Structure 1
Amino acid sequence: MVAQVQPKQEEVKQETFAVGKNTFLLNGKPTVIKAAEIHYPRIPEPYWEQRIEMCKSLGMNTICIYIFWNLHEQKPDEFDFTGNKDLAKFCRLAQKHGMYVIVRPGPYVCAEWEMGGLPWWLLKKKDIKLRTLDPYYMERVGKFMNAVGKELADLQINRGGNIIMVQVENEYGSYGTDKPYVSAVRDAVVKAGFTDVPLFQCDWSSNFMNNALDGLLWTVNFGTGANIDNQFKKLKEMSPDAPLMCSEFWSGWFDHWGRKHETRDGATMVAGIKDMLDRNISFSLYMTHGGTTFGHWGGANNPAYSAMCSSYDYDAPISEAGWRTAKYHSLRNLLGSYLQPGETLSDAPVDYPVIGIPEIKFEQVAPLFTNLPAPKYSKDIQPMEQFDQGWGTILYRTKLPQAVVAGTTLKITEVHDWAQVYADGKLLARLDRRRGEYTLTLPALKAGTQLDILVEAMGRVNFDKSIHDRKGITEKVELVTNDQATELKNWTVYNLPVDYSFAKAKKYAKGKAQTMPAYYKATFSLDKVGDTFLNMESWGKGMIWVNGHAMGRFWEIGPQQTLFMPGCWLKEGENEIIVLDLKGPEKAAIEGVKKPVLDMLREKAPETHRKEGQTLKLGTEKAVAQGAFTAGNGWQEVKLATPTKGRYFCIEGLSSFDGTNVAAIAEFEVLGADGKPLPREAWKIAYADSEETRSGNRTADKIFDLQESTFWSTVDNAAYPHQLVIDMGKEYTVAGFRCLPRAEVGAPGQIKEYKVYVKTSSFTY
C-alpha cells in the first residue's frame, strides 16, 4: 500500500499569506519568496518527492507549477487528475517537506509545451479565436478552471493547505491588449474557488501595463544578466507599495531541433539572484529543474517555425535526470547565506542509480504502409483536427487524375510540419516546415499514379497568435504548370496517432532496418533497474515507447541524441521497447548509456544568413531614416518623416555606445501606416553581415522570435557598420520601427548611430 502524504487532521497547521506594504506576509511576518519552478508532467510521478526535496535542499521555500489544461482534458469533458496528473498529491508532497506552492493555471501557460497548454480539440472549431472572449473558448476555460478548483481550492494556505498565490493568465502582454479578457479569466479563477490567496499576473517589464488589472499583484519575468533596477522601474512607479517579484527568472533556455544546445552562465544567474535578495525582491527560478517533455508534448516557436526537443534540461541547476550541477552548488551556497535565524539547509536526497543497458537489437518490424488503420474519405484536403486526430502522423492519399509532365510543381498549402511525398511507393521528397518547404518538382507521372503525402505533426506553436496551429495539410494541394494550378481532390486519409496501444497492435514480423517508415519492437532483460539514456544516434526521426510509456521524440539532426529513461519505468526481468522511425535507421539497435548527449548537432543547414562571398551594397541606396538611439535598456521608437512602401527593411548600425565592434538587438518591430507593429509571422532574414554562433545561438532571426532574452549579436572581430535585412513577406507601408536592446546592465552591443532603408525589391549583394 502506498503511504499517504496527507497530514493527519490534528497536524494541519492553519497559516496565512498576504500582500503587505513592500513585502509579502507569511503568518503576519515579512517574507521573501524563493520559488523553484518545476513541472509535474516532466517528472515521473515516483520521482516527484525526490525532486521537491532537491529544491528544498537548495534553500528554496516554495514550488511554482503550471497546470497543463491539454494534459488533463485530452477529450472534451473528460478530466484526468490521476497518476502523473495528480495535482493535489503533488501539492501535498510539497507541503510534507515544508514547501509552499504557487499555482499557475493559465489557461494558457506557454512552457514550451504543445499549444501552450491549450487543448488541440479547440481547433476543430474553424473560426475559434484563442485567448479572447470568444464564447466557446471562454465556456471551455470556465469548465477547466472549475475542474482545477475542485482539485486544489481546498489546499489554499488558510484552509490548511500550502497554496499561497494563484496566477491569472500568463504573459498576456506578449499576445495582445485585452483587459476585458484578462478580467474574465480572473473571474473564472475566483469562481473556481481561489478566493483566499493573492491573485497575480505576470508579464515583461516592457508590456505589463498593457493588461494590468487593479486588485491583482503585478510581477515581472526576465532572464539572467538583466538590469534588475530597470526591470522593476516602471512597476515601482505604478505600484510603489507593492512587494516586488520576478515570477520567472530564467536560469537557462530550451533547445530546438536543428539548433545548437543552449546554456546560460551560472555565475551570472547567481549574481542576479543575489541582487534581488539584497533588495528583498522575491523570485521564482524558471527552471530550477526542467525535466523531460515526454511523449508528444513538446511545443514549438514561430516565426520561424521551430519545434522543441524532448529534453527540457534547460541548463537548470538540477539536470534533466535530477543530478546536482555546478549551478546547483553555487546557488545552494548563495541561498545558505540568506537563511532566517535558526534555519538550516536540508541535506539533498539520495541520487537514483544510473545503469548502462547493452545493445538492444530490433528484429521485429511492422512497415507503416502495410499496417494502415481503417481509412477515412474526404473530397477536400482538411487538417488533422477535422479527422478527430490530435497528435501523431497522418497519411493523405489520392490518385493523379491525369498524367503529369516532368517539371510540374506540387504545391502544398501548408505542410505542418514534416512531410514525405511518395509516388506509387517511391519517395520523391521530404518537406520541412522549419525551412518553409512547401513545394517540390515532380518527375513525369502517369495518370492514376498513387500520390501519398505522409505528414508528421511536431509540436503545436506555444507562443503568440500562431497557437492557432492546425496540423497535417492545412488548406490544399495543387499541381502547378505554367502558372496554371489544379487542386487535387478525393483523398483517402489514414490517422496514425501516438497512442502506445496503436503502436503495439501492429503486425510485427522478423525483418531488418527499413528505408521506409516502420515500427520496430524488441524486448530486453534487466537484472537491476536504474536511470539510463537511450542512445538514438543511429535512428532517423520518430518516437519511442518503453513498457507502455511514451518517452519522447528523436531526430537525427540533434542536438539531442539520447532520451532520458527513468528507472522507475523499467522493471527487473523482461522489458518491451517500440520505436516508430519515419525515415529509417542506419542501424536498428539501441543501447542505454550513463550520460546524456544533448549537444551533438548534425543539421546541415547554414548557421548564418549570409552566403559565402555575399556583401550588401548600399552605396546607391537612399536612407529613409537616420539618427541615433538613446543609450539604455528598453524599447525605442522611431517614426519615418515620410511613410514608405516596401517589402525589404534594412537597418544599418554605424557605431556603438560601448565602443566595441559588437552590434546586438533583442527584438525588433516595423510599424505600419496605422503606427502599429506589422505582423511578423512571415518574416525571414534576407541578410545579416555577421552573426555570433560560437558562444551562443545569436543569429539574426532572434530579433523576431518574441523572446526578449534572446538576441542577435555580431561577432566581436567584425567591425562596424553592421547590416541586417528583413524580408517581411509582402509589401507594406512602413511608418517607423521599434528596437529593443539587450536587457543587461549597459545594454551591451547597443547600436548608437543608424540608417534605415526600405525597398519594394530585393537589395543588391
Structure 2
Amino acid sequence: MDSSPRFSTCLSWKRIVCSFFLPFILSGLAPSRKYKEYLISGEVRPQLPQYRFNWSHLTPLELKNRSMGLQTESIAGSNPYFTLGGHKFLIFGGSIHYFRVPRAYWRDRLLKLKACGFNTVTTYVPWNLHEPQRGKFDFSGNLDLEAFVLMAAEIGLWVILRPGPYICSEIDLGGLPSWLLQDPNLRLRTTDNGFVEAVNQYFDHLMARVVPLQYHQGGPIIAVQVENEYGSFNKDKDYMPYLQKALLKRGIVELLLTSDSEKEVQRGSIKGVLATLNMNAFQENAIKSLHKMQEPSEITGLSSNASQATSSCLY
C-alpha cells in the first residue's frame, strides 16, 4: 500500500502561512477602535460613505409599494442614478438562461448568483423552443418561464427579460423558429407581413404569461429588452418601433431598453426607449458617446437625465 503523505509539503506550508496571517487579515476587516467607541458610548455613529447602500428592503418579497418602477433621478452635484420604488438602486445583473439549465438545478444556480452579490438575473426567451411548430406552444417542464421567474423572486432577485423575438444567444437562427424558412420570400427581422404575423401570434401567447410577472403587478420583472442587437442587422427602420408598440399594446409597462455594440447603438436604438451598450470591458469614450446620442426627454418613464445612468446598466 502506498504510504506517501496525503498532502504535499507545499500545501502544508500554504496552510501554515494562511493560519499565521489570518488574524492580521481579519483584524483589518474588523471595525476600527474609534467606531467601537461610538458603539459603546451610545453616541450617534458617523455617517457611512455615500456610496454604500442598504438594498435589503429592495427585494421582490420585501418591496410592497409597487407604484414606482425602475427609473432614474438626479440631484445637483450628483450623477444620475437608477431608482426602484423611489429608492436609489444599482443594477447588479448576471445571466442564467432557464432553457439551458436543467430545471432541477434552477434553484441552485439562482442561489449561487444571489450569493455572489447580484440582485438581478437576466434571461433570454427562445422563440424556437417555445413554438417548435407553428401554432403549437410549449411552456412546460424546462421551458416553464413563469416558474423560473417566480423562483427568482422567491430567492430575492429581480428579473430583466429579453424576449426577442430574435435573441442571438449563440443559438440556431438566433432563436427564430426554423419553420419560418418554409416561406422563401419571408424576410426575417423586418415588418414583412409574414414575419410580423408570426411574431404577433407568438407575442400573444408569451406576453399573456409575462404581464402578471411585471413589477407593477407584484412580480420581479423590472425591465424588458426590445429585440437584441438590431443595430448590427438594421434592415428595416420600422421594425424596432413596431416591436416597441407590440409590447406596449400587450400590456408591458416596465422600462423598455435596447442593447447594441458601441458602433451600432445608434442604428439599433428606438425613440422613447433606453439604449444600452454591450461591452467586454468598460470603455469611457463609449459611454460618453452613448450619452450624446440619446434624447433623455424622450425616454419613456424616465427623468430628463436618464441617458447618463445607462453606464450602470450591466449590458
Q: Which residue identity does 1:185 align to in structure 2?
A: L
Q: Deviations over 1:741-760 (max 9, x none)?
A: xxxxxxxxxxxxxxxxxxxx
Match of 1:13 among 64, 75, 81: 64
Are positions 1:282 and 2:297 aligned together? no
Instruction: In structure 2, list runs of 5 or more residues that go unmatched.
Output: 1-60, 74-79, 297-304
Contact conserved, 1:177 with 1:210, CA < 8 A, in 2?
A: no
Equivalent residue runs for 1:169-208 within 5 Å: 169-194=227-252, 196-208=253-265
Deviation (angstroms), 1:54 = 0.5
Q: Which residue identity does 1:68 align to in structure 2?
A: P
Deviation (angstroms), 1:14 = 4.3
Q: Please name the residue that 1:125 is paired with.
A: 183
Q: Please name the residue that 1:215 is paired with.
A: 272
Contact conserved, 1:105 with 1:145, CA < 8 A, in 2?
A: no
TM-score by length of 1: 0.30
Richer in helix (by share): 2
Richer in strand (by share): 1
Q: Please name the residue that 2:43 is paired with.
A: none
Contact conserved, 1:24 with 1:30, CA < 8 A, in 2?
A: yes
Contact conserved, 1:24 with 1:243, CA < 8 A, in 2?
A: no
Contact conserved, 1:171 with 1:203, CA < 8 A, in 2?
A: yes
Rounded to whole Å, the distance in 1 between the matches of 2:190 and 2:222 is 28
Rounded to whole Å, the distance in 2 between the matches of 1:14 and 1:131 is 38
Q: Please give the secondary structure, in 1, of the residue aligned with 2:123.
A: strand
Rounded to whole Å, the distance in 2 between the matches of 1:74 and 1:61 is 32
Cα 1:102–1:11 change in 2 (3 A) is closer
* Structure number with higher relative contact order (C-alpha < 8 Å, ≥ 6 residues apart): 2
Contact conserved, 2:72 with 2:83, CA < 8 A, in 1?
A: yes
Q: Please name the residue that 1:700 is paired with.
A: none
Identity %: 37
Contact conserved, 1:166 with 1:200, CA < 8 A, in 2?
A: yes
Contact conserved, 1:172 with 1:211, CA < 8 A, in 2?
A: yes
Instruction: In structure 1, list runs of 5 or more residues that go unmatched.
Output: 1-9, 247-275, 285-765
Q: Deviations over 1:335-368 (max 9, x none)?
A: xxxxxxxxxxxxxxxxxxxxxxxxxxxxxxxxxx
Q: Please name the residue that 1:40 is paired with.
A: 98
Contact conserved, 2:82 with 2:309, CA < 8 A, in 1?
A: no
Contact conserved, 2:63 with 2:85, CA < 8 A, in 1?
A: no
Rounded to whole Å, the distance in 1 between the matches of 2:148 and 2:99 is 11
Rounded to whole Å, the distance in 2 between the matches of 1:204 and 1:238 is 14
Which 4+ runs in 1 deviate beyond 6 A? none
Rounded to whole Å, the distance in 1 between the matches of 2:109 and 2:307 is 28
Q: Please name the residue that 2:288 is paired with.
A: 233
Contact conserved, 1:148 with 1:192, CA < 8 A, in 2?
A: no
Deviation (angstroms), 1:178 = 2.8
Rounded to whole Å, the distance in 1 between the matches of 2:62 and 2:113 is 23
Rounded to whole Å, the distance in 2 between the matches of 1:35 and 1:179 is 30
Contact conserved, 1:178 with 1:211, CA < 8 A, in 2?
A: no
Cα 1:83–1:159 change in 2 (3 A) is same
Q: Which residue identity does 2:306 align to in structure 1?
A: A
Rounded to whole Å, the distance in 2 between the matches of 1:229 and 1:11 is 35
Cα 1:178–1:130 change in 2 (3 A) is same
Cα 1:111–1:244 change in 2 (3 A) is farther
Are positions 1:242 and 2:306 aligned together? yes
CA RMSD of aligned residues (A): 1.9
Contact conserved, 1:167 with 1:200, CA < 8 A, in 2?
A: yes
Q: Deviations over 1:393-432 (max 9, x none)?
A: xxxxxxxxxxxxxxxxxxxxxxxxxxxxxxxxxxxxxxxx
Q: Deviations over 1:583-635 (max 9, x none)?
A: xxxxxxxxxxxxxxxxxxxxxxxxxxxxxxxxxxxxxxxxxxxxxxxxxxxxx
Bigger Rg over Cα: 1
Cα 1:245–1:50 change in 2 (3 A) is farther
Deviation (angstroms), 1:243 = 4.8
Q: Which residue identity does 1:64 align to in structure 2?
A: T
Contact conserved, 2:94 with 2:118, CA < 8 A, in 1?
A: yes
Contact conserved, 2:290 with 2:307, CA < 8 A, in 1?
A: no
Q: Please give the secondary structure, in 1, of the residue aligned with 2:132.
A: coil
Q: Deviations over 1:180-237 (max 9, x none)?
A: 111111111122221x21111111111111132221011000113x5x2112121111
Are positions 1:87 and 2:145 aligned together? yes
Equivalent residue runs for 1:296-695 within 5 Å: none
Q: Please give the secondary structure, in 2, of the residue aligned with 1:103.
A: strand
Cα 1:11–1:235 change in 2 (3 A) is closer
TM-score by length of 2: 0.72
Contact conserved, 1:24 with 1:31, CA < 8 A, in 2?
A: yes
Rounded to whole Å, the distance in 1 between the matches of 2:149 and 2:285 is 34
